[in-house]
Structure 1
């Protein structure tokens, strides 16, 4: 979280993407303007699509 905030707000990098494994933290990152990738969420989506 700290490195994402540093990149976004101090270094003024316009697009910051962080790997977030804890799904409870996703909304915190997104509220700070940091895009997220959740590997567990991506895996669950792929499994659901495979079952359809």
Structure 2
């Protein structure tokens, strides 16, 4: 998983799916989506993330 962030842009790549968020509201959405992704990974993994 690749995750990069700057003051105005958050970009992360989950399993080949790249999402770029260009403003503050979308950046919060990115963080929420990242949290949901990590929760799914934990629930399907015996040893956690």
TM range (shorter): 0.3 to 0.5
TM-score normalised to structure 1 length: 0.32
TM-score normalised to structure 2 length: 0.34
Name the structure with the higher helix share. 1
Name the structure with the higher strand share. 2
Q: Which has the larger radius of gyration?
A: 1
